[in-house]
Amino acid sequence: MRMLLVAQTAPSDTSFGAAQRTALMYRALREHGSVDVLIVNEGEAFAARDGERGAEVMARLTVKTAPWHARYRADLQTGQWARARLASRRYDLVVARELATAGRFGAVFDVPLIADADDAYYRYAPSGPSASALGISLVKTRARMFATRRALRRFTHVWFASARDQRRFAGTPSSVLPNVAPGVCELPPAPRDTPTILFVGALWYRPNIDAVDWFIANCWSSVRRAVANVRLRIVGAGPLAQRERWSRIPGVECAGFVADLATEYQAAHFTIAPVRFGGGTQIKTLESLAYGRAAIVSGFVHAGYSGAFTDGSLIVADSADEMTAACLQLIGSPAEAARLANAGRAVVQECFGWPAFRSAVAEGLLRARERPPAGPAGNHVTGSKGSASLARGGR
C-alpha cells in the first residue's frame, strides 16, 4: 500500500509533543506500506520546494496563513500544486496529521482520507480578564467547533487524541489514537537540597505561555513564602524576550530549548501543567510520569486522557489555592510524590505506550479500507486502483 502523510514537521523532528506524534505516526504507517511525507506550513505566500533525493520528505509547501475563522478553507495554489505533482504517484491512502493542514488542499483526493485530528478541539484564551474578552473567546471556540464539524465530513476516518474530543464530534467515523510517552529511562529520586518544580512545553505556544504566566502570577509568591529555596524551572523553545521576562522573577529559571530532558527531570521534584486553554496532545504530563516524576495538572489537561487517571495518580488543581496547596504537599512529602509517580507510570505503560498507538493506527487503516472515500468526486488525485485497492489490504 502506498500512502501520503501530510504533516507540519518531518518524522525526524521530535523536539516537542506534536512533532513526536508525527514521528510515531510515520513509524506506525510504515508497518503497512510505503510512506511519502509532505510538509505543509503557513507563511506569507505560497511556495513549494522539492525534498532531497532519497530523503523521507518528498516536498515542502508554504501556504498563506489563514485567519482563525478560515483555518480549514481550501487554498487554490495548494490544490493546483497537488493535482500537478501528486497524481502520478497514485496513492492508495492519504493521512493528514493535522486537520487544518488537510483543509488547505480542498477536494483533491478521492482515495480514503484519514485525519489525525488531535487539533480538532481548541479552547481559545481570553485576551484579558474582562467579561467581553471571555465572551469573545467563547464565541471563537464555538465558531471553530462548527467549522471543524463541517471539515470532518470530508474524511473517511478520523483519529481523535482523546475520548473527550471524540464525544464532542459524535457521529464522525472515528476512533481514539492515544498519546504516547517517549521511551525514557527510570531516574533516581531528585536531590532534596533545592526543591525544583518543572514546566516543560513549547514556549511559542500561547496556551503554554498563559499557563506559566498564570502560575507565576497566582501561585508562585505563596509557594516561595512557604519554601524560600524552591525554584521554578521552565524548559522549552521560545522567544528570548519571553524567557528573559520570566527569568527576572526571583526563583524562576527559564532555560529555553534543552536537548537532554532527562537531566531536567532528574533535578525536578515534580512537574506542573496548569494549562487552561488550547488543544493538542498534552504529552508533557505523560512524559513526566514516564520519567518517574509526579505531576500536578489542570482539569482541562486531565480531561484529555480519556479517564485513564482515575486512580488518583494525578493531582488535579484548577484554582490558585488548589495549585499552591498541591505544590506544597509534594515539596513537603517526597514519599507521596514518589508514590504518585509510580502509580502514574503504571498507567502510562498500560494505556499510553507504543503498542496501544500501533494497534489504534492499524484499526483505523482497516476501518478506512471498509468505507468509500468521503469527499466528492471530480478532478482529484486518485489511487492506483481507487479505494478498491485498499479493500484487499496493503503489502
**Structural contact between residues 113 and 374, judged by C-beta atoms closer than 8 angstroms:** yes
Domain with CATH 3.40.50.2000 in the chain: 2-179+354-384, 196-351
How many degrees, rounded to 5, is the angle at CA 21 between CA 242 and CA 255? 25
**pLDDT score at 189:** 81
At 306, is the secondary structure helix, strand, or coil? coil
Fold of 2-179+354-384: Rossmann fold (3.40.50)
Cell, residue 45: 505566500
- CB environment 213-246: b (16+ within 10 A), e (fewer): ebbbeebbebbbeebeebbbbbbbebeeebbeeb
How large is the C-alpha radius of gyration of the chain?
22
**Structural contact between residues 61 and 33, judged by C-beta atoms closer than 8 angstroms:** no
**pLDDT score at 385:** 42
Residue among 109, 81, 75, 74 at smallest CA distance from 95: 109
Cell, residue 248: 527576572
Q: Tell me how far apart the alpha carbons of residues 135 and 126 are, in angstroms, rounded to a whole number.
A: 8
Long-range contacts at 57-63 (CB < 8 A, ≥ 24 apart): 57/10, 59/85, 63/104
Q: Each residue of 19-39: pLDDT tens digit?
A: 889 999 999 999 999 999 999
Which ranges of the chain have pLDDT less than 70? 53-55, 183-184, 280-281, 372-395
**pLDDT score at 93:** 92
**pLDDT score at 395:** 33
Cell, residue 302: 486531565
Q: How long is the chain?
A: 395
Please tell me the pTM assigned to this model.
Answer: 0.81
Q: How many helices (H) and strands (E) does the chain have?
A: 15, 15
Cell, residue 237: 523553545
Residue type, 102: A
354-369 helix and 17-29 helix, angle to the nearest 10 degrees = 60
Residue type, 263: T
Cell, residue 40: 505543509
**pLDDT score at 47:** 93
Q: Each residue of 208-258: pLDDT tens digit?
A: 999 999 999 999 999 999 999 999 999 999 999 999 999 999 999 999 999
CATH for the 196-351 domain, from 3.40.50.2000, 3.30.230.10, 3.30.56.10, 1.10.20.10: 3.40.50.2000
Q: Tell me how far apart the alpha carbons of residues 278 and 71 are, in angstroms, rounded to a whole number.
A: 15
Q: What is the DSSP string of 153-220?
A: TT-SEEEESSHHHHHHTTTSSEEE----PPP-PPPPPPPSSS-EEEEES-TTSHHHHHHHHHHIIIII
Per the DSSP assignment, residues forming a β-bridge with 157 are: 114
Residue among 54, 53, 24, 19 at smallest CA distance from 39: 19
